[in-house]
Amino acid sequence: MVKWIAADMQPQTGKTVLVTGANSGIGFQTALELARAGATVLLASRNRQKAEDAMLAITKEVPKAALEFVELDLADLASIRSCAERVVTRGGALDILINNAGVMAVPERMTTVDGFELQFGTNHLGHFALTGLLMPALRRNPTARVVTVASIAHKRAVIDFQNLQGQRGYKAWDAYNQSKLANLWFAFELERKFLRARLKLKSIAAHPGVSATNIVNGGPKLGGTINFRTLLISLAMPFLGQPDSMGALPSLYAATAPDVMGGSYYGPDGTGELRGNPVKVWANTLAMDEVKAAQLWSVSEELTGVAYGPLLEPVQLSAPPIL
């Protein structure tokens, strides 16, 4: 079987892509390769300096790269609103949205500006709100794609709707695993919503296997006592993880390959989906649970105040000009 690599990507000239967490790891590699393929890339980052460093690094490899920084803190609904407003009022279609940013294994329970548990709030609720608010820009391209980056960690997730935000008995890894299951529920339910609304937009999920990135440092460095498992993973990751350029391939494939179907899930082809080139993979049974996905959707609308109903309604065509 032919192994897909970034060089196999079709030209993306004329497309506009927004990548969250584009200043680091998998998001950086995703932005780099999309820029190389000719797309205009909006690097959504919470830190201007880091985004500017990333843009400089991309420009060194791709001198003609079309790059723009958009400020986005997924742990702050006001920041998400102003980022989306900027992209919507910028004009033109948003052809591809890559919901990539994430935080992992935060040792002690922390909260977003709006009081959500940090991993659930950033990884899931932040992207849930962002995608909804970007819908006017996405819908300017009837076949736009939304790619959401999940993880094999979803397979360890248990969900407790009575304790979604870890108020009772917070555990760092449980919170992360749950947020990654939530990413999958979101991606699959969004696809069902597109189908029900008879829209041709696609929602696809991807995961990078295990990739050596900053993810093992970001969460644990936020403070608190780091547990043994987190310590072990952070020590082993640089040796066991595949390069972030490989970790980005499933996202890139999901975002651009012509044969990708809405509602599908891509990950590496190696043993245990830990490393390799992108192939279609399968989420576990819980991730395919449509009732629970719909339940999380309602909770997410309530918590973020972003209601998708009106955003998915048929576009009102303006009256034809009177000749």
- Please answer whether residues 239 and 295 qualify as being in contact, where contact means their C-beta atoms are separated by less than 8 angstroms: no
Question: Is residue 23 near ligand NAP by the rule CB under 6 A?
Answer: yes
Size of the site for ligand NAP (CB under 6 A): 34
Question: Is residue 70 near ligand NAP by the rule CB under 6 A?
Answer: no
Residues 263-322 that bind ligand NAP (CB under 6 A): none
Closest separation in Å from C-beta 200 to ligand NAP: 26
Q: Which residues of 184-195 are buried (b: 16+ CB within 10 A; e: fewer)?
A: bbbbbbbbbbbe
Residues 216-235 that bind ligand NAP (CB under 6 A): 218
Question: Is residue 47 near ligand NAP by the rule CB under 6 A?
Answer: yes
Q: Which is nearer to ligand NAP, 214 or 227 (CB)?
A: 214
- Please answer whether residues 207 and 91 qualify as being in contact, where contact means their C-beta atoms are separated by less than 8 angstroms: no
Token digits for 78?
A: 């006001």
- Please answer whether residues 190 and 203 qualify as being in contact, where contact means their C-beta atoms are separated by less than 8 angstroms: yes
Closest separation in Å from C-beta 20 to ligand NAP: 6
Looking up tokens 């969460």, which residue turns up?
219
Please choose, out of 5-13, 42-50, 265-273, 307-315, the segment that lies near ligand NAP by the rule CB under 6 A: 42-50
Active-site option among 170, 176, 265, 308 = 176
Please report which residue ranges of the chain form alpha helices under DSSP H.
25-36, 48-61, 77-89, 118-119, 127-138, 172-196, 215-218, 228-240, 244-247, 249-256, 290-304
176 is catalytic: yes
Question: Is residue 146 near ligand NAP by the rule CB under 6 A?
Answer: no
Integer CA distances (angstroms), 321 to 201, 314, 317, in order:
29, 20, 12
Q: Which is nearer to ligand NAP, 214 or 295 (CB)?
A: 214
Integer CA distances (angstroms), 233 to 52, 82, 104, 154, 215, in order:
29, 36, 11, 17, 10
Residue selected from 6, 9, 19, 26 as contacting ligand NAP according to rule CB under 6 A:
26
Write out the DSSP string of 289-309.
-HHHHHHHHHHHHHHH----T
Closest separation in Å from C-beta 315 to ligand NAP: 30
Q: Which is nearer to ligand NAP, 74 or 159 (CB)?
A: 74
- Classify 226 as helix, strand or coil: coil
CB atoms within 10 A of CB 156: 15
Question: Is residue 215 near ligand NAP by the rule CB under 6 A?
Answer: yes
Closest separation in Å from C-beta 179 to ligand NAP: 8
Q: Which residues bind ligand NAP (CB under 6 A)?
A: 20-21, 23-27, 45-47, 50, 72-75, 100-104, 122-123, 149, 151, 207-208, 210-211, 213-215, 218, 241, 247
Residues annotated as part of the active site: 176
